[in-house]
Amino acid sequence: MESKKKGLTKLSLATWILIATIGGIIFGSIVGPAAGNLKVIGDIFIRLIQMSVVLLVMTAVASALANIDTGSAGKMGLYTFISIIVFTLISAGIGLALGMLFKPGQGISLTAGEVQAAEVAATSFKDTLLNFVPTNIVGSMASGAMIPCILFAVFLGLAAGMYKKQTGKSGIVDWLNEMNGIIMNIIKMVMKLAPIGIFCLLANVSGAIGFKVVIPMMKFLGCLALGDIIQFLLYGPTTAALCGVSVFKMPKKFAKMSIMAMTTTSSAICLPTKMEDEVTKFGVSREVAAFTGPITMSMNSCGAVQCYVLAILFMSQATGIVLAPGQLGMAILLSVLMCMGTIVVPGGMVVTYTFLATSLGLPLEAMGVLIGIDWFSGMFRTVMNVDVDCLVAMLVSKKLGVLDKEVYDEVKTVDYTANV
């Protein structure tokens, strides 16, 4: 009996999450809608993560910039942005090609009025850029607006670093480092509850929605899955070749964060796990992980941009509306812009789909089936978002000459919190 208990305690968090995933789906399928009573427990878990994400992001970015020189910060930002743009545009193109080839919206009967869509005012490109700059950082923090918070953290980190050089006082920089370490510990405590929270979330989904909603949408979900596979086969070997490491070691290293991404469908919730794994498994320097982690979470959304483009094509095909070449170009542009500071917690796709449909003149009722299976499509979106974030961090580390291949090759180990 004692040996069984020891065996259970030795199971990794990723293993417990996988067990919770399977158990939640089976339990929800058996119990049915009554499993929805467990949703409140899952929501509590999500909120416990959300309560620390903004502070985690801001302290991570600020402390990273405060501890490096301005020249390095400029290079790091440039390499990060270039990687994000390249990955995002390629992913959008893959989504467009799959949507045009397989036509997921054809042959699906939609019923108007099934979904009461939220009212979203289409914003111009100038307004989008303007909204990136906060007028009240406290308000941005309260609303969870990630891009304004990151922008403020960039200035805070650079200013703190300048102040340290000018005065020789490191109190503020030390405070940022220590606060980031404290927030990380809060997240780690909450993550111990992940199997319970994920079990409850999936029990609710499988009990309330069931597979009858998924079956008519297999073509759409199949396109997302195929797109993810294509991206993995393209991005993984390319990144490995550029970084001079073995691509065959990547699947095992991605396992934990990928399971987290698929089960929570939230890049924000995966952020702590992603940043730690980048350092301890992929050999990314802690400074690069702290800088690129929050930024890629909000701006690098390869899985999301693929899904947005596919959703636009699905809505146009399902309603018989043919999009002109110019409108297809606009669809890609809008999808890319929506990834720049997109909502990174579950439930944000209602607003996103409404924005895209309104901007392109597509009927709002076409979103009905998409929103009905949004949790399932969210699995494919998020796993691609999170994993490509890690590849961006690897490329940036390689470009800056700080990628530790010995850590990647498992020759040595590092403690993520050792230098906090």
What is the rounded distance in angstroms from the CA atom of residue 338 to the CA atom of residue 128?
9
Confidence of residue 190 (pLDDT cuts 50, 70, 90): confident
Q: Summarize the confidence of residues 275-283 as an average pLDDT.
A: 92
What is the rounded distance in angstroms from the CA atom of residue 379 to the CA atom of residue 343?
15
Q: Summarize the confidence of residues 58-84 as an average pLDDT.
A: 78
What is the rounded distance in angstroms from the CA atom of residue 51 to the CA atom of residue 178?
18
Confidence of residue 418 (pLDDT cuts 50, 70, 90): low
As a whole number, the mean pLDDT across the chain is 80
Q: Are 232 and 387 in contact (CB under 8 A)?
A: yes
Q: Counting runs of H as helices and runs of E as strands, what totals does the chain give?
A: 20, 0
Q: Summarize the confidence of residues 128-152 as an average pLDDT.
A: 80
Q: Which of residues 374 and 95 earns the better pLDDT score?
A: 95
pLDDT above 60: residue 72: no
pLDDT at site 280: 92
Q: What is the DSSP string of 299-342?
A: H--HHHHHHHHHHHHHHHHHTTPPPPHHHHHHHHHHHHHHTTT-
pLDDT above 90: residue 207: no
Tens of pLDDT, residues 17-43: 778 877 887 888 888 888 888 888 888
Domains of the chain: 12-408 (1.10.3860.10)
pLDDT above 90: residue 230: yes
CA-atom Rg of the chain in angstroms: 21
Please identify which residue in the block is written with the tokens 């490109």. Answer: 125
What is the rounded distance in angstroms from the CA atom of residue 102 to the CA atom of residue 347?
27
pLDDT at site 395: 96
pLDDT at site 344: 44
pLDDT at site 420: 47
Q: Are 148 and 140 in contact (CB under 8 A)?
A: yes
Confidence of residue 231 (pLDDT cuts 50, 70, 90): very high
Q: Are 300 and 382 in contact (CB under 8 A)?
A: no
Instruction: Return the structure tokens found at 163.
Output: 């102040």
What is the rounded distance in angstroms from the CA atom of residue 173 to the CA atom of residue 126?
34
pLDDT at site 8: 54
Confidence of residue 403 (pLDDT cuts 50, 70, 90): very high
Q: Which of residues 363 and 135 earns the better pLDDT score?
A: 135
Distances (CA, A) of 175 to 60, 120, 169, 198, 420: 12, 40, 12, 33, 11
What is the rounded distance in angstroms from the CA atom of residue 310 to the CA atom of residue 73?
36
- Phi and psi dihedrals of 220, rounded to 5? -65, -50
pLDDT at site 350: 59
pLDDT at site 112: 41
Q: Are 267 and 54 in contact (CB under 8 A)?
A: no
Q: Summarize the confidence of residues 290-301 as an average pLDDT.
A: 84
Q: Are 376 and 216 in contact (CB under 8 A)?
A: no
Tens of pLDDT, residues 324-367: 887 788 788 778 877 764 444 444 565 577 767 777 777 765 56
Tens of pLDDT, residues 242-255: 999 999 999 999 99
pLDDT at site 406: 92
Q: What is the DSSP letter of 148?
A: H
pLDDT at site 118: 38
pLDDT at site 111: 43
Confidence of residue 121 (pLDDT cuts 50, 70, 90): very low
